[in-house]
Amino acid sequence: EAQVTQNPRYLITVTGKKLTVTCSQNMNHEYMSWYRQDPGLGLRQIYYSMNVEVTDKGDVPEGYKVSRKEKRNFPLILESPSPNQTSLYFCASSRSGTGSYEQYFGPGTRLTVT
Amino acid sequence: EDQVTQSPEALRLQEGESSSLNCSYTVSGLRGLFWYRQDPGKGPEFLFTLYSAGEEKEKERLKATLTKKESFLHITAPKPEDSATYLCAVGGSGNTGKLIFGQGTTLQVKP
């Protein structure tokens, strides 16, 4: 089954404790992206990757890091989480990064930082 | 600036009562317009892609249409299981592959 998977699905952590949210897709997609969704603010792009070893900042990159060493994986790293990073996070993938193709989203990771 | 506006914010229908959701967009050169369904706490589920004015796509009780300035999602004879938030998005005009999302329309269908 074609899908985007994320782990963990739920995470409660404390300020400053480094964490990684994993994302994997099995559709051989070139493009992958991370979004966060907050009430009243909608979906905002954090980072994106056009292909392996090619990553760039989205609209709200502060406090986040990413890497793309393999085509299928695109982990999101929070080096020193803060309470304002409490949010619902989605990983997405697409055939390409032209904006012409639909993106497929993972199930989401609900992160709470206390 | 790329922008997507959806209306209404919320819509309550009786089962079987057809209606339409609106998505107005402003983008430099439309690359694609996308409709998604999102259930609470879950990831957006892809429904349709539209590329050019006049194009239509259908899936069960849903039909999406596109003009040069807006898109409509028509829901015919909805059922309670159609209750969800429907999101509209366009491919952004920059080279980021980013989707620009509207705020969504939350649909509730009562039996």
Q: Does A75 touch chain B (CB under 8 A)?
A: no
Measure the CA–CA gap between A64 and A55, rounded to whole angstroms.
Answer: 12
Decide if A99 and B102 are in contact by the 8 Å CB cutoff: no
Measure the CA–CA gap between B66 and B52, rounded to whole angstroms.
Answer: 7
Average pLDDT over residues A89-93: 98
Q: Which residues pair with A104 in a beta bridge?
A: A93
Measure the CA–CA gap between B73 and B9, rounded to whole angstroms.
Answer: 14
Question: Which comes out higher in pLDDT, residue A41 or B19?
Answer: B19
pLDDT at residue B93 greater than cutoff 80? no
What does the pLDDT read at residue A49?
A: 96
Among A34-43, A102-111, B13-22, B92-101, whose mean pLDDT is lowest?
Answer: B92-101
Tell me how close the Cα of B39 comes to any Cα of chain A, in angstroms: 10
Measure the CA–CA gap between A92 and A96, rounded to whole angstroms.
Answer: 12
Q: Compute and round to an integer the Cα radius of gyration of chain A.
A: 13
What does the pLDDT read at residue B91?
A: 87
Among A79-88, A97-106, B9-18, B32-41, whose mean pLDDT is lowest?
Answer: A97-106
Tell me how close the Cα of A44 comes to any Cα of chain B, in angstroms: 8
Measure the CA–CA gap between A113 and A38, rounded to whole angstroms.
Answer: 14
Residue A76: band (very low, low, confident or very high) from pLDDT cuts 50, 70, 90: very high
Decide if A101 and B49 are in contact by the 8 Å CB cutoff: yes
What does the pLDDT read at residue A98?
A: 85
| Closest-approach residue (CA) in chain A for B44 | A105
Decide if B98 and A45 are in contact by the 8 Å CB cutoff: yes
What does the pLDDT read at residue B97?
A: 82
pLDDT at residue A63 greater than cutoff 80? yes
Average pLDDT over residues B59-83: 97
Average pLDDT over residues B55-72: 96
Average pLDDT over residues B67-94: 94
- Cis bond before residue B80 (omega within 30° of 0): no
Average pLDDT, chain B: 95
| Closest-approach residue (CA) in chain B for A54 | B96
Residues in chain A with CB shorter than 8 Å from the CB of B49 are 101-102
What does the pLDDT read at residue B96?
A: 79
Selecting from B42, B46, B97 the residue whose C-beta is nearest the C-beta of A98 gives B97
Decide if A42 and B49 are in contact by the 8 Å CB cutoff: no
How do B56-59 and B62-66 pair as beta strands? antiparallel
Inter-residue contact A67 to A75 (CB < 8 Å): yes
Decide if B31 and A100 are in contact by the 8 Å CB cutoff: yes
Measure the CA–CA gap between B19 and B13, rounded to whole angstroms.
Answer: 8
For chain A, the distance separating the N- and C-terminal CA atoms, rounded to the nearest angstrom, is 36
Tell me how close the Cα of B9 comes to any Cα of chain A, in angstroms: 11
pLDDT at residue B53 greater than cutoff 90? yes
Residue B98: band (very low, low, confident or very high) from pLDDT cuts 50, 70, 90: confident
